Structure 1
Amino acid sequence: MIAAKKSSGKFNTVMFGDVPVLQRKWLAALRPGERLPRYEDVMLGSLGRLADHIALLRDHDETLCVSHTGRYVQQWLNDDRWDIPLSALPPDCATALGEAASSALANGRPYLAAAHCVRDGLVKTYDVLAMPTSSRWGGTLIGAYVNERDTQYNLLDTIFSATDEGVLSLAAIRDASGQPFDFQIVHLNQGASRLLKQPSTELLWRRLGSGGNLLGSPEVIERLRDIIGNGCGGQFEIDSDDRCLKLGATAFGDMLSLTVSDVTAIKRREVSFRLLFDNNPMPMWVFDAETTKFLSVNDAAVQHYGYRRETFLGMKLQQIWPEDEWASHSEALREIGEVYQSARDWRHIRADGSEVHVLTFGRRVVFDGRDGYLVAAVDITERRKAEARIAHMAHHDGLTNLPNRDFYQDRLRQALERSQPGNKRVAVLCVDLDLFKNVNDSFGHPIGDRLLKQVAERLRSEVRGDNLAARLGGDEFAIVLVSDVSPNEASDFADRLIAVLSACYDIDGIEVVVGASIGIALSPGDGATSEELMRNADMALYRAKSDGGGVHRFFEREMDRQAQTRRDMERDLRRASANGEFELHYQPLVDIAADRISGFESLLRWRHPDNGMVSPAEFIPVAEDIGLIIPLGEWVLRQACSEAINWPADVKVAVNLSPVQFRGRNLVQAVISALAHSGLSPRRLELEITESVFLAETEANLAILHQLRELGVSISMDDFGTGYSSLSYLRSFPFDKIKIDRSFVKDLARRSDCVAIVRAISGLGRSLNITTTAEGVETVDQLDWLRAEGCNEVQGFLFSAARPAGEIEALLAGFGTRASNAAA
């Protein structure tokens, strides 16, 4: 061992930088694309003197074995054997090697650990660097470098000098009869010198009987004589005016080991404890740390828990725990330290069997000479009830008390996780009430709210077990069926639910009838995540609503394709305006009597950079849905007016208005701005609307139309005779023009009913002094029929398709030449 120490000392100065050298060597040997360097590149050829410090480990059937050791490592292990398991080595060395090797294998990198070994009362620290390498024979070899650091220290001296307690060794002095009568101090630490308030030089080799400190009293010497006479140990306390010391003595032969502790503060705390414990309004008790028996309870605990004091003091701590929490209570009790504060609330049982929720706070105390814990309990039962109510509110809809969207999505995710091992199906149903808006509009929101409550009750009665119904918002509900339902079972359930929800509701004598539409998505085919299933069920619901409502539809992949196309269009629309992709084309309006172009209808066109021209029938509804139609409509107004100012003064421009623009309430200002910016006369601007403007907020929309009329612009009704067109519209507002839809013009030559409709609309226009314009004129025969029936204006491919603004001048000139030739 002496040689090993010398060798170690010699190597310490040389090998200070060995660890970084070896780490760099390992990194340099690592080839691109390989997880570990090769054993030969790291461990063979250039280790030199370091080879003595290397132990080679291999992983054999998940057990680490030592296959080779250098001379230094053999001295460190005190074992020169090879090919032995790691467990056969000294535990301190085996632990350090095992820790470093396991960490290196786990990380795939060199790992540096420290080993602390006790040798002959000295603590020595070693660096252990484990370097994983690949073996040509397969598997992994770990080279472990071991070397001692400079620092070492005497364990016993360090412990005794570091402790605050006093430690003394006493030798018994016997009289002629062989009986001990005094003791001599043969060893002491600085703690003893401090507690006895004398320098160690004065205390060392001094007899206790000579006095001068608290140990010299006859009572202390007598207690020590009894301990050495009995050959055992004991503890006792000694008091002075200002201090209380606790002594612990152990005898072995004529020697005594004596520990001295200052317990003055503890004694004072015990006095304070008595004062604070008995009259404290918070329930408190002391229990024995070993037996858990109650040692003392204060009046507040007696009153709060309802046990008589005598009963309380005959109980153990476990008797106030509910049986289902015994294990967790016991685990917490085993882990308790000097101070305890519960990280969770506990349930306690009172004398009447009721339960309370409490937080407990405790600290270790000495009570009547016994090791125990002082515990204070804070009753939080009412707080927990309030928190439970708040948690319920956070996860449930306030109106219907059904689970809300967050709760539903969380439950759906759990259901999907449980279904994955067996590839079981989970069904998601999105439910929307049909005609619910009519209920709010007809009877008011209070009746609508009460209807939703009754709908929720019917859902609860139909959705049972582990299945869940939730309200997502408004009149939208969702259901998750977790019991591996088949498509047929989901279909039957949806049909039954539609019938239940569509039955008449009685609300304060008012009979209310609504319907229900349902979209269904099934995992895993329609989606593996909650987000996918909800999105796809919602698309299926949209199809059910589009098919007239009152039905259910399953999700189909074509719906997803259509939805993706719609999302792409929304994205492209939002950037189209900024990129200047919109343009206006103009189709001429021809005055039949004068045989001239009286105006142009402006038609919006979208020149997509990838898809070319996109039909307005495709993108206008999307622009309306996403709110883009309002800024887009304002651009059309400004552009049309700016281009029309360059036309002849008797040529008008017609601009189509969307019903959405009326909801924006900024339409009148947009028209004024367009006219002012362009300088166009209001008499040359014609605004076309459809009958849908009259289907919503009629009074407000009529007011806007009258404001527009007061500006001097003309108002035209487009597509008259289709949809919900009503003659009452012509009474509601004095239109300047009504346009006959192309569907009637197309079959004029073949169907007598189309002729009758055109004749009626033309006659109505003449009677009300309203201009009539026929759309979609493509043949001379159609033009002759319309002229014969008294129609005022026509437009269609017979004259021209819609043209860009740059072609308007040529179009006007060409039409004038044609008219002159016709006159000649």
Structure 2
Amino acid sequence: MIAAKNSFKSSSGKSNAEMFDDVPVLQRKWQAAHRPGGGLPRYEDVMLGSLGRLADHIVLLKSHHDTLEVSRTGRYAQKWLGDDRWDIPLTGLAPDCATALNEAAASALRNGRPYLAAAHCVRDGVVQTYDILALPTSSRWGGTLIGVYVNARGLQYNLLDAIFSTTDEGVLSLAAIRDSAGQPFDFQIVHHNQGASRLLKLPSTDLLWHRLSAGGNLLCLPDVIERLLDVIKSGDGQQFEIDSDHRNLKLGARAFGDILSLTVSDVTALKRREASFRLLFDNNPMPMWVFDAETTGFISVNDAAVQHYGYSRETFLRMKLRQIWPEDEWVTHTEALQQVGDTYHSGRNWRHLKADGSEIQVLTFGRRVAFDGRDGFLVAVADITERRKAEARIAHMAHHDGLTNLPNRELYQDRLRQALEQSQPGNKRVAVLCVDLDLFKNVNDSFGHPMGDRLLKMVADRLRSEVRGNNLVARLGGDEFAIVLASDVSPNEASDYAARLIKTLSARYDMDGIEVVIGASIGIALSPGDGDTSEELMRNADMALYRAKSDGGGVHRFFEREMDRQAQKRRDMELDLRRAFANGEFEVHYQPLVDIAADRISGFESLLRWRHPEKGMISPADFIPVAEDIGLIVALGEWVLRQACTEAAKWPEDVKVAVNLSPVQFRSRNLVQVVISALARSGLSPLRLELEITESLFLAETEANLAILHQLRELGVSISMDDFGTGYSSLSYLRSFPFDKIKIDRSFIKDLAQRSDCVAIVRAISGLGRSLNITTTAEGVETVDQLNWLRAEGCNEVQGFLFSAARPAAEIEALLLRFGRRASQAA
């Protein structure tokens, strides 16, 4: 049972966006796609792309002629709905889920913006609150699509325990409805028992999902609603009475979060104790009985107990309590019974036997009563069998991967710690194997993620078949798995096992007639030599895996101490890099670009240099990749761009400046603004700025990156491709974007005078440049012979040590004076 509640703020005053990470992510994604005055954002811009795991939580609704239809649902959403069907009317779902979805979607459509609501789900006596975020979008095929995100929030409440402890007769559960400021203003009936229908003189259909503000029953009186709102706001329980129809009803209210437990008692009837007891007992939907306090024999059972346990009433009344207890719990049951006072509720769950021999798990609640002149105990029973099964499933899910059903990282680490503890007395070895699939990304890219998921399941089956005994295999995430070999394994045994595992995983996979081939790389660490804690072994096995991947994959490698040294060196460089940027240790040097035809310097390439206070100059080849990995390259790149533009503004107006861009800078999505800012602050004309990229930029998010390149080109900035000819698809990239310049990689220039193939490549690239009206620049020119060859082949520009190494900004003027206007003087 679910009640929707309009709210962008919780009762604590904190917004849901502050409390739950997923909601602000989706809201930002919607806002980023929304254009003021342009109507709703497009479905493709909001709901497609990098949703990742959030896609499993989405219910996609289609608005058609003022009705809503379920178009698609994710796996998590299907579990919540209890329905995996697509393309059905929203009314075809369970009414609780349909009500919450309809209210959230309708509000989002009415407001034309994301709408956040809360839904309270009551199942098996447990209350779970869900966040529901409706994102309205437009469809390219017309109409409107609403993506509704659903996710469980926080704590659960045991409604059954709360109800039984606070009422004897009528029971209702009310969900508070909050306004946009987070204040409660109304209630919706989300659960009630038969007693509530009887006391309020309304059928169940007129109560369930009914809002109190709509009127129609005694609870809808304004002063009653006001008292109930006070309970929600204060969190304190209240009892009060109302008079109507010659009846006096006593109401008991208690808040459990946003759920109000309300008990309704007819005080007049309770004065006649025996009648009220019969009313509570006979018609109660919970199994109930009275047993003799002395003999433990059943002296009365209600209809619910007869139906639930399967014994006839006559059989029940001939039995004693022991006959519904499993034999192995006779002692504990008897001891608990001896300690019972006048009232009790079980502090643990018990096992009971039904007539067909099956077992159920129950909670029992009781109190001492006088029944037909005998001292007895009235007992109510709550069957929690399904709840315990659900809890067991949840516990399993908490320690197992949802896709492959293999143990997850948490269980893996726990088992690894146990294996290490058990191995210590005999100084036995424990092996940790980190397994990463080779070429798995190709499967996802070629066949889609559903096929990739199927492949991961097949890989898991093969791994499971190779792991026996007290060993364990787990999925750590993505296409990464890990194995614990808990027995005392030698390095040779671990090596043979890894080799066999690679062969097993590399065998062909038949997927609906498609033969898929992947491979595996494995890193191995052995205790105690490679570490005696789970953290050390996992870290060292991961380093060994990195080495295996670096060696081409399809192999296994053992951890070596040199790997740790290199890792420490890398960590030290990361710390030094961050300090270096803060301390101003970086410099920008400039290497001249020479126009061959005009024999003059046409520009300078700006190059980042790091002068370490203790280690001296550090090669960019060493620190640039690290800066890219840790994200520092974005700030460094902005700094270099500003410095280069500011310096170039001092040069002659026909001298350009070239700045290298990292692919990482494109991910920040504010690159265009950074370039505009650098040009504006320096006063440099965009026509004098060249931005150099490498083809790796095209390997990810190509459409987005091309859009940025076109925006930069529209500013008047020139775009050049660096290291042309060294990649796989350089020619196709020339078709993707109209480059202003291509730079021939120095590897082709080095042997230009000795190798005919290098001459042919340079000639081809120069000819390609002329045909496409693209400037060609040769890098790494060190000899006059190389310069002459390049001039003969029609290359436009050159740079290299023949003219000058990269120099600090203070030496630019001297370089211009030294070379004058003629490049030939550089020789």
Q: TM-score range by the shorter chain?
A: 0.5 to 0.7
Larger mean Cα displacement after TM superposition, 802-811 or 528-537: 528-537
Indicate the residue corresponding to 2:620 in structure 1: 616
Deviation at 1:363, TM superposition (A): 4.6
After superposition, what is the alpha-carbon deviation per residue over 1:618-640, rounded to whole angstroms, capped at 9, x for unaligned? Answer: 22112222333233222222221
Q: 1:355 aligns with which of 330, 343, 359?
A: 359
Indicate the residue corresponding to 1:376 in structure 2: 380
Q: What is the CA–CA distance in structure 2 between the aligned matches of 1:287 and 1:744, rounded to whole Å? A: 97
Q: What is the CA–CA distance in structure 2 between the aligned matches of 1:387 and 1:730, rounded to whole Å? A: 58
After superposition, what is the alpha-carbon deviation per residue over 1:440-476, rounded to whole angstroms, capped at 9, x for unaligned? Answer: 2222222222222333333333333433333333223
Q: Which amino acid aligns with 2:605?
A: E
Indicate the residue corresponding to 2:781 in structure 1: 777
Identify if the C-alpha distance between structure 1 residues 466 and 365 changes in structure 2 by more than 3 Å, giving closer, same or farther: farther
Q: Are 1:672 and 2:699 matched, yes or no? A: no
Larger mean Cα displacement after TM superposition, 269-278 or 568-577: 269-278
Identify if the C-alpha distance between structure 1 residues 324 and 408 changes in structure 2 by more than 3 Å, giving closer, same or farther: farther
Q: For 2:489, what is the secondary structure of its paired residue?
A: coil
After superposition, what is the alpha-carbon deviation per residue over 1:308-344, rounded to whole angstroms, capped at 9, x for unaligned? Answer: 5665566554443324444544554565555432222
Q: What is the CA–CA distance in structure 1 between the aligned matches of 2:706 and 2:339, rounded to whole Å? A: 78
Identify if the C-alpha distance between structure 1 residues 337 and 425 changes in structure 2 by more than 3 Å, giving closer, same or farther: farther
Indicate the residue corresponding to 1:657 in structure 2: 661
After superposition, what is the alpha-carbon deviation per residue over 1:554-585, rounded to whole angstroms, capped at 9, x for unaligned? Answer: 32222223223323333343444333232211
Q: Are 1:420 and 2:424 matched, yes or no? A: yes
Indicate the residue corresponding to 1:512 in structure 2: 516
After superposition, what is the alpha-carbon deviation per residue over 1:202-233, rounded to whole angstroms, capped at 9, x for unaligned? Answer: xxxxxxxxxxxxxxxxxxxxxxxxxxxxxxxx
Q: What is the CA–CA distance in structure 1 between the aligned matches of 2:335 and 2:499, rounded to whole Å? A: 53
Whether the 8 Å contact between 2:601 and 2:822 is mirrored in structure 1 is no
Identify if the C-alpha distance between structure 1 residues 703 and 818 changes in structure 2 by more than 3 Å, giving closer, same or farther: closer
Identify if the C-alpha distance between structure 1 residues 772 and 418 changes in structure 2 by more than 3 Å, giving closer, same or farther: same
Within 5 Å, give how 1:672-751 maps onto structure 2: 672-724=676-728, 726-751=730-755
Q: Are 1:320 and 2:324 matched, yes or no? A: yes
Identify if the C-alpha distance between structure 1 residues 529 and 271 changes in structure 2 by more than 3 Å, giving closer, same or farther: farther
Q: What is the CA–CA distance in structure 2 between the aligned matches of 1:696 and 1:602, rounded to whole Å? A: 26
Q: What is the CA–CA distance in structure 2 between the aligned matches of 1:712 and 1:360, rounded to whole Å? A: 80
Q: Which amino acid aligns with 1:603?
A: L
Q: For 2:583, what is the secondary structure of its paired residue?
A: coil
Q: For 1:578, what is the secondary structure of its paired residue?
A: helix
Q: Are 1:464 and 2:468 matched, yes or no? A: yes
Q: What is the CA–CA distance in structure 2 between the aligned matches of 1:615 and 1:767, rounded to whole Å? A: 37
Identify if the C-alpha distance between structure 1 residues 459 and 572 changes in structure 2 by more than 3 Å, giving closer, same or farther: same
Within 5 Å, give how 1:440-589 maps onto structure 2: 440-589=444-593
Q: What is the CA–CA distance in structure 2 between the aligned matches of 1:676 and 1:513, rounded to whole Å? A: 53
Identify if the C-alpha distance between structure 1 residues 413 and 272 changes in structure 2 by more than 3 Å, giving closer, same or farther: farther
Q: Which amino acid aligns with 2:399?
A: H
Deviation at 1:656, TM superposition (A): 1.1
Q: For 2:401, what is the secondary structure of its paired residue?
A: coil
Deviation at 1:359, TM superposition (A): 0.8
Indicate the residue corresponding to 2:158 in structure 1: none
Q: Which amino acid aligns with 1:608?
A: H
Identify if the C-alpha distance between structure 1 residues 485 and 775 changes in structure 2 by more than 3 Å, giving closer, same or farther: same
Q: 1:645 aligns with which of 636, 649, 661?
A: 649
Indicate the residue corresponding to 2:819 in structure 1: 815
Q: What is the CA–CA distance in structure 1 between the aligned matches of 2:417 and 2:373, rounded to whole Å? A: 57
Deviation at 1:769, TM superposition (A): 4.4
After superposition, what is the alpha-carbon deviation per residue over 1:8-53, rounded to whole angstroms, capped at 9, x for unaligned? Answer: xxxxxxxxxxxxxxxxxxxxxxxxxxxxxxxxxxxxxxxxxxxxxx
Identify if the C-alpha distance between structure 1 residues 334 and 611 changes in structure 2 by more than 3 Å, giving closer, same or farther: farther
Whether the 8 Å contact between 2:600 and 2:822 is mirrored in structure 1 is no
Q: How many residues align?
A: 557
Identify if the C-alpha distance between structure 1 residues 394 and 683 changes in structure 2 by more than 3 Å, giving closer, same or farther: same
Identify if the C-alpha distance between structure 1 residues 580 and 335 changes in structure 2 by more than 3 Å, giving closer, same or farther: farther
Whether the 8 Å contact between 2:601 and 2:821 is mirrored in structure 1 is no
Q: What is the CA–CA distance in structure 2 between the aligned matches of 1:299 and 1:270, rounded to whole Å? A: 18
Indicate the residue corresponding to 1:176 in structure 2: none
Indicate the residue corresponding to 1:340 in structure 2: 344
Deviation at 1:280, TM superposition (A): 5.6
Q: Are 1:754 and 2:758 matched, yes or no? A: yes
Deviation at 1:702, TM superposition (A): 4.0
Q: What is the CA–CA distance in structure 2 between the aligned matches of 1:296 and 1:697, rounded to whole Å? A: 73
Deviation at 1:674, TM superposition (A): 2.0
After superposition, what is the alpha-carbon deviation per residue over 1:246-281, rounded to whole angstroms, capped at 9, x for unaligned? Answer: xxxxxxxxxxxxxxxxxxxxxx99998788667765
Q: Which amino acid aligns with 2:562?
A: E
Q: Which amino acid aligns with 1:473?
A: G
Q: Are 1:628 and 2:617 matched, yes or no? A: no
Indicate the residue corresponding to 2:222 in structure 1: none
Deviation at 1:603, TM superposition (A): 0.4
Deviation at 1:615, TM superposition (A): 1.8
Identify if the C-alpha distance between structure 1 residues 328 and 637 changes in structure 2 by more than 3 Å, giving closer, same or farther: farther
Q: For 1:390, what is the secondary structure of its paired residue?
A: helix
Q: Which amino acid aligns with 2:350?
A: W
Deviation at 1:368, TM superposition (A): 8.9
Larger of the two Rg values belongs to structure: 1
After superposition, what is the alpha-carbon deviation per residue over 1:579-603, rounded to whole angstroms, capped at 9, x for unaligned? Answer: 3232211112223444432211100
Whether the 8 Å contact between 2:523 and 2:543 is mirrored in structure 1 is yes
TM-score, normalised via structure 1 length: 0.60
Higher RCO by CA contacts (8 Å cutoff, separation 6 or greater): 2
Unaligned stretches of 5+ residues in structure 2:
1-271
Q: Are 1:394 and 2:398 matched, yes or no? A: yes
TM-score, normalised via structure 2 length: 0.60
Identify if the C-alpha distance between structure 1 residues 507 and 819 changes in structure 2 by more than 3 Å, giving closer, same or farther: closer
Identify if the C-alpha distance between structure 1 residues 271 and 424 changes in structure 2 by more than 3 Å, giving closer, same or farther: farther
Q: What is the CA–CA distance in structure 2 between the aligned matches of 1:747 and 1:480, rounded to whole Å? A: 52
Identify if the C-alpha distance between structure 1 residues 649 and 392 changes in structure 2 by more than 3 Å, giving closer, same or farther: same
Q: Which amino acid aligns with 2:725?
A: G
After superposition, what is the alpha-carbon deviation per residue over 1:167-195, rounded to whole angstroms, capped at 9, x for unaligned? Answer: xxxxxxxxxxxxxxxxxxxxxxxxxxxxx
Q: What is the CA–CA distance in structure 2 between the aligned matches of 1:437 and 1:658, rounded to whole Å? A: 23
Deviation at 1:345, TM superposition (A): 0.8
Q: Which amino acid aligns with 2:393?
A: R
Larger mean Cα displacement after TM superposition, 454-463 or 632-641: 454-463
Larger mean Cα displacement after TM superposition, 646-655 or 407-416: 407-416
Unaligned stretches of 5+ residues in structure 1:
1-267
Whether the 8 Å contact between 2:594 and 2:798 is mirrored in structure 1 is yes
Identify if the C-alpha distance between structure 1 residues 693 and 297 changes in structure 2 by more than 3 Å, giving closer, same or farther: closer
Q: Which amino acid aligns with 2:696?
A: S
Deviation at 1:299, TM superposition (A): 5.7
Q: What is the CA–CA distance in structure 2 between the aligned matches of 1:789 and 1:287, rounded to whole Å? A: 107
